[in-house]
Chains A and B, each alone.
Chain A
Amino acid sequence: MCGIIGAVGRGVETLDVLVHGLSKLEYRGYDSAGVALADESVDICKKAGEIDELRGALEGRSIDGSVGIGHTRWSTHGPPTDENAHPHQDCSGDVAVVHNGIIENYQELRDELAAAGHTFRSDTDTEVVPHLVEDALRGGADPEAAVRSAVGRLEGSYAVAVVIAGVDRIFAARNDSPLVLGIDDDAYYLASDVPAFRDHTDRVVYLDDGEFTVLGPDGWRVTTLAGEPVEKTVDTVDWDPEETGKSGYDHYMLKEIHEQPRSLRQSLSERVDELGGSVDIGELADLNPRGVQFVAAGTSYHAALYGAELFRQAGIPAQAFRSSEFATSPPPIGDALVIGVTQSGETADTLSALREAQRRGARTLGVTNVVGSTVARESDHVFYIRAGPEIGVAATKTFASQLASLNLLALGMTSTDGTREIISSLRDLPGQVQEVLDGSAAREVADTYAASDAYFFIGRGLNYPVALEGALKMKEITYKHAEGFAAGGLKHGPLALVTDQTPVFAVVTGDDELAQKTIGNVKEVEARDAPVIAVTDGKSDVERYADHVLRIPEAHPRTAAVLANVQLQLVSYHTASILGRSIDKPRNLAKSVTVE
């Protein structure tokens, strides 16, 4: 999991363009960063730590060149050190390479190259690439042919970019890791993701697996790895690069929590007709699935659990699987529609699961936030959640938009009882999220319990995924132990963990049988002296058993889950803030996990 960037045609600004691009890619990894600039020689500067460390290192050095590549790293092979930071070089120092992905046959290649006399300076899989290029150059190949032959030796996932001394071009290739080109009038870019160069151009070309590209001062071209020309279309991205600024907030996470009313409006706009009692999901309405299997990871998996329940409520058998499990131990799929939920559209585990499903003949649907992402291109169908760019590593607004989008899909693909009432509640949702944001007591709750040993979250039905997500958010950004449980599962073991130092967040909405049963569980933990924080709409009497209440407006059970989640997002945020954590960039985590 890493981010790469490259630029040609920017002359003396090249270094600034690269470093700026890396700062926009920091969400993909941030334990080390580096750049390489090529003219007659290749200059490299790289540093363990965040991009500010690299900036500091660059201050003391003059490094120039009109063609450059850069990299921000999230370690998979070897610890985050200066040596393991990219770019990596060959023995001569004339070739520099950045790479995102995992080279599965690197050990074999490394042994072969070491035996041929190449010296390795890092523990990374990537370093085999510059040495392979060096070998081919020594064998008399021209630069482009040398890179092609090196890439041809690689097995695994990669987006690689290469510069060579004395060559005013960048060579790059992709297989299973994202790579997109940015096209301007007299400058060309490549990157793992659009924000890296969105400040310079809005014209992009998405590379597909097995494609190879050459960017030079005179233009760009894409071919297969073997050299066959490929016709590519130039897309225009419509979102505003400045949406990636913090707009006055201390953290992206808080900004994104507060953006939820707006992002939900975008998710729903032109897709619901309350007076007509219908939703518009385009051709997806004709899929008529007889069964649904969701595959997803992390927060998206919690959205998938919620989505599966919606389909079950409409009488369609539906299950949610963790994509890593599905990919390696797939269940019988039968004629189920397989829906992959992934914010980035690049989650490697989810892509593998969908590919496995396709291999078995299943129809696939990708639910994602990123237009042109791999899941959007590889799946048979795609549905965009339209939440806008999310930078904070902890997913917030995209979870809300995933839940809203899954409602649209379930309503559009099934005949669900009470459709009009659900549409009405969806249209009320943005305003109700704003109501939660305007009056949340989450800060007080965080103040009270920030020193606790652990946090537990319980819920039933649609509130079960909310409990899991509440715990995941708490873990991710506070580094505290947190677990979510189906409320009924508590007494089958986890209750042993409950003490007066372990606050329990109980998500209780409505006053039906589920709510009453959860209240029974609340009484169980209360009897063990655990502080109870009820997240409730006030319809039931759960407040009688609670030490604190996080109030949400009265709402349909489907949207109440979204509202309850907003309260839990805020509790996690404020707790992490009190604890002084690195909220937007929690340790060991990256925004989208593009390695398995």
Chain B
Amino acid sequence: MVDTAVVLAAGEGTRLRPLTRNRPKPMLPAANRPILEHVLDALVDAGAEDLVVVVGYKHDRVQNHFGPTYRDVPITYVRQNKQLGTGHALLQAREHVEGSMLVVNGDCLIDSTLVEDVCRAFDRGDGEPTLAVLEGPDARQYGAVTLRDGLVQELIEKPRTDEYRLINAGIYAFDDDIFGAIDDTPREAGELALTTTLSRELDDGRVRGVETDGLWVDASYPWDLLVVAAEILDYGLADEPERDDRVWVDETAIVHDDATLQPPVVIGPDCEIGPSAVVGPHSALGRNVTVGANATVANSVLDVDARVGAGSTLLDTVTGQHVRLGPNSVVSGGPADVRVGNEIFEDEDLGAVIADRVRADGNVGFAPGSLVGPNAHLDTGVTVDGQVREGTEVRR
């Protein structure tokens, strides 16, 4: 039985910018808890007794959130100071692992089924590297896998064609000889990817793949957090007590008697929801979020400490932490074409992405598909459209 799990949580996740300004992707909200919390849940549910978390980018945020244990399972933090690939990240954990181990990505939502399937397959084998293989997600975005008789034939990172059916779910079980194998792998462009090491072992027929079908949701872009939240709510993975059918409300939240919560919806600890506000469906409120009177929030993820002023409307909105929106702010919802750098994503269901600590004074409008950078200040009455850079002061 594998009881040590190494979680790779050191990378920023640059495609999730601007939400990763102050924290790495694993700490972004999956509904109203960090993605990494769900990952650790999956590991602990599958019987992990020892967690080794590799941290790097904005590591304080991971360490502060979890502290020394998660659900009574001790956590050891190891630092990857330069993010030189997943293989390099795993090497940092070497001193803290003896024998076999699970290795998972900390930034991708999973449940315990996948972990258990990998463990079982690994236990049946003879210590060969074993990875979880999934059918479904678009292989072009991830790593494609071909399998024959339970052995991995090919591992292709982001293939250009759509002929591949299976992807690498990023959940592995290894013996500790993996460290030597990584040592022996030449760096590519200075980086050591775990998949490069595994590719070198394919010819020996040594890498097992196990097809599995648990929950697996990866957020590639900020608006994907809306999809992640919807999946979690539809799966019923909320932690809070279920007050009504699929209405999860923490005991410490204050919801006015005249407010309406539309399922599925989850309301985190210390939240306050004012009279005649309507929250949901498919909405998740992190800890200490305030929704003022007569506000409407639907298909949205509001992260910790967000404040939504009275009379505001937020549709298809993702906020970072401590976003403050004054009264009558309006995000009218998608679909929209979203521009990120030189790329344009067409027809995304996105109202707006509003990064950490944005402050909008009131009567602020957000055109569909807007991306507002951290610490921007939007003056009363402005309408933003497209991208607003970090720290910008937008005046009428």
Closest approach, in angstroms, between the C-beta of A573 and any C-beta of chain B? Answer: 13
Q: Would you give 13 A-B contacts (Cβ < 8 Å), ordered by A?
A: A242-B68, A242-B72, A247-B64, A247-B77, A269-B252, A270-B252, A270-B270, A276-B254, A427-B288, A428-B305, A430-B288, A431-B288, A435-B357
Q: Which of A208-216, A259-267, A303-311, A521-529 contacts B (4 or more CB under 8 A)?
A: A259-267
Q: Is A249 close to B, CB under 8 A?
A: yes
Instruction: Look across to chain A and name the residue whose beta carbon is closest to the beta carbon of B303.
Output: A431
Q: Mark A404-433, 1 if CB is under 8 A from B, else 0.
A: 000000000000000000000001101110
Q: Is B75 close to A, CB under 8 A?
A: yes
Chain B residues in 8 Å Cβ range of A248? 55, 59, 63, 76-77, 79
Chain B residues in 8 Å Cβ range of A430? 288, 305
Supposing A248-B55, A249-B63, A431-B321 touch, asked if A243 and B272 sit within 8 A by C-beta, the answer is no
Secondary structure at chain B's binding surface: helix, strand, loop or mixed?
A: loop
Chain B residues in 8 Å Cβ range of A275? 254, 256, 272, 274-275, 290, 292-293
Chain B residues in 8 Å Cβ range of A265? 269-270, 287-288
Chain A residues in 8 Å Cβ range of B305? 427-428, 430-431
Q: Is B221 close to A, CB under 8 A?
A: no
- Of B60, B252, B272, most buried by chain A (CB within 10 Å of CB) is B60
Chain A residues in 8 Å Cβ range of B252? 269-270
Instruction: Look across to chain A and name the residue whose beta carbon is closest to the beta carbon of B277.
Output: A275
Q: Are B269 and A269 in contact (CB under 8 A)?
A: yes
Chain B residues in 8 Å Cβ range of A273? 254, 272
Q: Are B304 and A247 in contact (CB under 8 A)?
A: no
Supposing A249-B63, A261-B64, A431-B322 touch, asked if A242 and B69 sit within 8 A by C-beta, the answer is yes
Partner of A431, one of B68, B69, B77, B304: B304
| Chain B residues numbered 38-74 whose CB sits less than 8 Å from any CB in chain A | 55, 59-60, 63-69, 72, 74
Chain A residues in 8 Å Cβ range of B275? 275
Partner of B68, one of A246, A261, A276: A246
Q: Are A274 and B77 in contact (CB under 8 A)?
A: no
Closest approach, in angstroms, between the C-beta of A388 and any C-beta of chain B? Answer: 9
Q: Are A242 and B67 in contact (CB under 8 A)?
A: yes
Instruction: Look across to chain A and name the residue whose beta carbon is closest to the beta carbon of B58.
Output: A438
The 5 closest A-B pairs by CB, nearest first: A248-B77, A245-B68, A431-B322, A431-B305, A242-B69
Chain A residues in 8 Å Cβ range of B254? 273, 275-276
- Of A244, A247, A249, A435, most buried by chain B (CB within 10 Å of CB) is A247
Bound: A149/B390 CA distance, A: 73
| Chain B residues numbered 252-284 whose CB sits less than 8 Å from any CB in chain A | 252, 254, 256, 269-270, 272, 274-275
Q: Is B22 close to A, CB under 8 A?
A: yes
Secondary structure at chain A's binding surface: helix, strand, loop or mixed?
A: helix
Closest approach, in angstroms, between the C-beta of B348 and any C-beta of chain A? Answer: 28
Q: Is A258 close to B, CB under 8 A?
A: yes
Bound: A431/B322 CA distance, A: 6
- Of B292, B305, B321, most buried by chain A (CB within 10 Å of CB) is B305
* New A-B pairs, 11, CB < 8 Å, besides A427-B305, A435-B357: A244-B68, A265-B287, A269-B252, A270-B252, A270-B270, A274-B272, A275-B254, A275-B292, A427-B288, A430-B305, A437-B60
Chain B residues in 8 Å Cβ range of A434? 22, 321-322
Chain A residues in 8 Å Cβ range of B287? 265
Chain A residues in 8 Å Cβ range of B274? 275
Q: Is A447 close to B, CB under 8 A?
A: no
Partner of A269, one of B76, B270, B272, B292: B270
The number of A-B residue pairs with CB atoms under 8 Å apart is 84
Supposing A249-B63, A259-B64, A438-B22 touch, asked if A432 and B322 sit within 8 A by C-beta, the answer is yes
Instruction: Look across to chain A and name the residue whose beta carbon is closest to the beta carbon of B69.
Output: A242
Q: Are A258 and B256 in contact (CB under 8 A)?
A: no
Q: Is A54 close to B, CB under 8 A?
A: no
Bound: A42/B272 CA distance, A: 61
Bound: A270/B270 CA distance, A: 7
Instruction: Look across to chain B and name the residue whose beta carbon is closest to the beta carbon of A276.
Output: B254
Closest approach, in angstroms, between the C-beta of B391 and any C-beta of chain A? Answer: 11
Bound: A268/B287 CA distance, A: 12
Q: Are B272 and A247 in contact (CB under 8 A)?
A: no
Chain B residues in 8 Å Cβ range of A249? 63
Bound: A513/B352 CA distance, A: 41
Chain A residues in 8 Å Cβ range of B304? 431
Closest approach, in angstroms, between the C-beta of B258 and any C-beta of chain A? Answer: 11
Instruction: Look across to chain A and name the residue whose beta carbon is closest to the beta carbon of B304.
Output: A431
Instruction: Look across to chain B and name the residue whose beta carbon is closest to the beta carbon of A249.
Output: B63
Chain B residues in 8 Å Cβ range of A432? 322
Instruction: Look across to chain A and name the residue whose beta carbon is closest to the beta carbon of B23.
Output: A438
Q: Is A240 close to B, CB under 8 A?
A: yes
Q: Are A247 and B290 in contact (CB under 8 A)?
A: no
Instruction: Look across to chain A and name the residue whose beta carbon is closest to the beta carbon of B357.
Output: A435
Bound: A96/B290 CA distance, A: 59
Bound: A16/B290 CA distance, A: 50
Bound: A244/B67 CA distance, A: 9
Instruction: Look across to chain A and name the residue whose beta carbon is closest to the beta carbon of B22.
Output: A438
Closest approach, in angstroms, between the C-beta of B151 and any C-beta of chain A? Answer: 38
Closest approach, in angstroms, between the C-beta of B89 and any C-beta of chain A? Answer: 15
Chain B residues in 8 Å Cβ range of A247? 63-64, 66-68, 75, 77
Q: Are B60 and A258 in contact (CB under 8 A)?
A: yes
Q: Are A427 and B290 in contact (CB under 8 A)?
A: yes
Instruction: Look across to chain B and name the residue whose beta carbon is closest to the beta carbon of A254.
Output: B60
Bound: A249/B64 CA distance, A: 10
Chain B residues in 8 Å Cβ range of A245? 67-69, 74
Chain B residues in 8 Å Cβ range of A242? 67-69, 72, 74
Q: Are A243 and B68 in contact (CB under 8 A)?
A: yes
Bound: A249/B79 CA distance, A: 11
Bound: A265/B322 CA distance, A: 14
| Chain A residues numbered 377-415 whose CB sits less than 8 Å from any CB in chain B | none
Chain A residues in 8 Å Cβ range of B269? 265, 269
Q: Are B75 and A428 in contact (CB under 8 A)?
A: no
Closest approach, in angstroms, between the C-beta of B52 and any C-beta of chain A? Answer: 11
Chain B residues in 8 Å Cβ range of A262? 64-65
Partner of B270, one of A255, A268, A437, A438: A268
Instruction: Look across to chain B and name the residue whose beta carbon is closest to the beta carbon of A241.
Output: B69
Supposing A242-B68, A247-B77 touch, asked if A274 and B357 sit within 8 A by C-beta, the answer is no
Closest approach, in angstroms, between the C-beta of B65 and any C-beta of chain A? Answer: 8
Bound: A435/B357 CA distance, A: 8
Chain A residues in 8 Å Cβ range of B357? 431, 435
Bound: A140/B351 CA distance, A: 87
Partner of B322, one of A244, A274, A428: A428
Closest approach, in angstroms, between the C-beta of B152 and any C-beta of chain A? Answer: 34
Q: Are B64 and A240 in contact (CB under 8 A)?
A: no
Instruction: Look across to chain B and name the residue whose beta carbon is closest to the beta carbon of A248.
Output: B77
Closest approach, in angstroms, between the C-beta of A552 and any C-beta of chain B? Answer: 13
Closest approach, in angstroms, between the C-beta of A299 and any C-beta of chain B? Answer: 22
Bound: A435/B79 CA distance, A: 23
Closest approach, in angstroms, between the C-beta of A85 and any C-beta of chain B? Answer: 30
Bound: A466/B55 CA distance, A: 34
Bound: A430/B287 CA distance, A: 11
Bound: A276/B79 CA distance, A: 45
Q: Mark B296-322, 1 if CB is under 8 A from A, else 0.
A: 000000001100000000000000011
Bound: A135/B76 CA distance, A: 52
Q: Mark B65-103, 1 if CB is under 8 A from A, else 0.
A: 111110010111101000000000000000000000000
Bound: A430/B275 CA distance, A: 25
Q: Mark A211-255, 1 if CB is under 8 A from B, else 0.
A: 000000000000000000000000000001011111111000001
Chain A residues in 8 Å Cβ range of B272? 273-275
Bound: A438/B305 CA distance, A: 15
Closest approach, in angstroms, between the C-beta of A58 and any C-beta of chain B? Answer: 25
Closest approach, in angstroms, between the C-beta of B274 and any C-beta of chain A? Answer: 5
Chain B residues in 8 Å Cβ range of A437? 60
Q: Mark A269-294, 1 if CB is under 8 A from B, else 0.
A: 11001111000000000000000000
Closest approach, in angstroms, between the C-beta of A316 and any C-beta of chain B? Answer: 28
| Chain A residues numbered 73-121 whose CB sits less than 8 Å from any CB in chain B | none
| Chain B residues numbered 227-272 whose CB sits less than 8 Å from any CB in chain A | 252, 254, 256, 269-270, 272
Bound: A431/B272 CA distance, A: 16
